[in-house]
Chains A and B, each alone.
Chain A
Amino acid sequence: MITEQMSKKLTISSINTGMVIDHIPDKRSFKISSILNLYKYAGSVAIISSAKSKSMGFKDIIKLEGKHLDLEEIDKIALLAPGATINIIENSRVISKKLLSTPIKINGLLKCFNPNCITNHEIIKTKFVTESTNPYVIRCVYCERTFQDDIIRRMLV
């Protein structure tokens, strides 16, 4: 078991340049690393799971040495872990901190769960819009079906 105190040391203090994704819901870092293909990443990656957190009980943290995620990757994280924070580290210091909220428009990141949706029959970039944040509900712009929380995470491609 790693305490929040220890995990902070493990992540932020040990990075020179890169990103720390903090406040990820417990155990969700594994899904994030597979969606982002972090196993292919050449730099060092630290995944800390089930760290104790005052606000969350348990949380996960991902540390990426030397890597800056692009906007699409950040949107994917936001979908998997709304409420997570992204810290940008330069010269061992946090130079910016961003709270992730679910994107209003989600383009190309998800596969529609409706088998009868046109996007599953022709090569079409999917588009979804966020309808509600709590519960988290999105709607497919094409077939107009709505999808909630757990299903959305299974729709990530």
Chain B
Amino acid sequence: MYLDYMTLIDLQNSNKDLISVRDFTREKIEYILSIVKKIEAMPEKQQKLIAKGKIISSLFFEPSTRTKLSFESAAYSLGCSVIGFSGTSGTSVKKGETLSDTIRMASAYSDLIVMRHPLEGAAKKASEVSDVPVINGGDGSNQHPTQTLLDLYTIYKHKGTLDGLTVTLAGDLKYGRTVHSLAHALSLFNNNKILLVSPDILEMPDDILNEIGGRVTIQKTSLVDAIKESDILYMTRIQKERFSDLQEYEQVKGFYILTKKMLADAKSDLKVMHPLPRVNEIAVDVDDTKHAIYFEQAKNGVPTRMALIALLLGVIK
């Protein structure tokens, strides 16, 4: 017997912060996306006034250039200033300061904390000791909720809905937190079908399938077959290091590389997404097809993070 989903949300949820996709409801996602849309439509000058004078702590206990740039660009675009660090060398963290103490200090100096940390659950812990809102910018292999929201916003922008879609998740479905969270979020909407394409050793874990399986149709298939019926094809990288047998890697890798030629059978409005950085799983000849939206997807990170910062600061409705 699985407990009612809303009971679980009540047990874990805190509305002050953005920590996990498990805190999401359909209503919450729709509300957030409506704010992203609103902010994106504003002229830059007006955006700059939304959170003018607020201070954002950007605490990257583990470096991540892309995520950091996207968050800080979002903060500046809202008129905020940013303090913080990237990597812990030369900081009090390196001297053995606990996470809780670092967060207490940052929470005293700023209005909101954005953090990335190599350990799972660090953002949740931070949200418990912080007086100001905490946004999780990635905690180990656990969650990266702003990535999920920018993915959803990108899908919504192109499809006009998050219901009734056939979405293929391809590549590393075992370790890829991005695809776990996206599958989770899609299961909160109606009549979605999720197609899974991965090598046997990188299949989506059972606990995730159990958690969302009752709410969404899930089917395993091949990339070639998935392309024919998908509305969204979400590609991820398969890392060579995941294979203990390199010969096995060489044998399977070709099945998970997308080329322009393979898209001949696709629906005309199929959109191809990727969390980036891409290595070779999408051939460069796909880039200038009407299907490729992965660069735009990355750009959507800025308005999405602007909306989240503004919402949690309580400066927009």
Q: What are 26 of the A-B contact pairs (CB < 8 Å)?
A: A104-B11, A116-B119, A116-B141, A118-B99, A118-B122, A118-B125, A118-B139, A122-B100, A122-B125, A123-B98, A124-B125, A129-B11, A129-B12, A131-B211, A132-B1, A132-B2, A134-B1, A141-B12, A142-B121, A142-B125, A143-B121, A144-B20, A144-B121, A144-B142, A144-B143, A145-B120
Inter-chain contact B11/A118, CB cutoff 8 Å: no
What CA separation (Å) do A104 and B10 show in the bound complex? 12
What CA separation (Å) do A140 and B11 show in the bound complex? 12
- 8 Å CB contact of A131 from B3, B20, B100, B122: B3
Q: Which residues of A contact B27 (CB under 8 A)?
A: none
Q: List residues of B (4-44) whose CB comes within 8 Å of A's CBs.
A: 8, 11-12, 20, 22
- Contacts A105-B11, A146-B207 given; does A119 touch B121 at CB 8 Å: yes
- Contacts A122-B125, A131-B3, A134-B1 given; does A142 touch B120 at CB 8 Å: yes
Q: Which residues of A contact B99 (CB under 8 A)?
A: 118, 122
Nearest B residue to A124, CB-CB: B125
> Does A17 touch B at the CB level, under 8 Å?
no
Interface bin, chain B: 20 to 34
What CA separation (Å) do A131 and B207 show in the bound complex? 11
Q: Which residues of A contact B63 (CB under 8 A)?
A: none
Inter-chain contact A131/B22, CB cutoff 8 Å: no
> Does B124 touch A at the CB level, under 8 Å?
yes
Nearest A residue to B122, CB-CB: A118
Most buried by A among B139, B142, B211: B142
How many A residues, CB 8 Å from partner?
Answer: 25
What CA separation (Å) do A53 and B184 show in the bound complex? 44
Q: Which residues of B contact A129 (CB under 8 A)?
A: 8, 11-12
Cβ distance B139 to chain A, nearest Cβ, rounded Å: 8
What CA separation (Å) do A119 and B142 show in the bound complex? 14
Q: Which residues of B contact A119 (CB under 8 A)?
A: 121
Cβ proximity bits A113-153 to B, threshold 8 Å, 1 near / 0 not = 01011110111100001111110010011111110000000
Nearest A residue to B205, CB-CB: A146
What CA separation (Å) do A105 and B3 show in the bound complex? 12
Inter-chain contact B3/A132, CB cutoff 8 Å: yes
> Does B140 touch A at the CB level, under 8 Å?
yes
Inter-chain contact A140/B8, CB cutoff 8 Å: no
Q: List residues of B (143-171) whose CB comes within 8 Å of A's CBs.
A: 143
- 8 Å CB contact of A130 from B3, B22, B122, B125: B3
Inter-chain contact B11/A144, CB cutoff 8 Å: no
Pairs A-B, 6 closest by C-beta atoms: A142-B121, A143-B120, A118-B121, A143-B121, A118-B119, A118-B122
Inter-chain contact A141/B2, CB cutoff 8 Å: no
Inter-chain contact B3/A142, CB cutoff 8 Å: no
Q: Which residues of B contact A124 (CB under 8 A)?
A: 125
Cβ distance B16 to chain A, nearest Cβ, rounded Å: 16
Q: Which residues of A contact B22 (CB under 8 A)?
A: 144
Most buried by B among A131, A141, A142: A142
What CA separation (Å) do A60 and B100 show in the bound complex? 44
**Apart from A119-B121, A129-B8, 16 more pairs, CB < 8 Å:** A104-B11, A105-B11, A114-B120, A117-B119, A117-B121, A118-B121, A122-B99, A124-B125, A129-B11, A131-B8, A133-B1, A142-B120, A143-B119, A143-B120, A144-B20, A144-B143
- Contacts A104-B11, A129-B12 given; does A142 touch B124 at CB 8 Å: yes
Cβ distance B105 to chain A, nearest Cβ, rounded Å: 15
Nearest A residue to B126, CB-CB: A118
Q: Which residues of B contact A134 (CB under 8 A)?
A: 1
Cβ distance B227 to chain A, nearest Cβ, rounded Å: 32
Cβ proximity bits A94-123 to B, threshold 8 Å, 1 near / 0 not = 000000000011000000001011110111
Q: Which residues of B contact A123 (CB under 8 A)?
A: 98
Inter-chain contact A143/B2, CB cutoff 8 Å: no
What CA separation (Å) do A114 and B207 show in the bound complex? 15
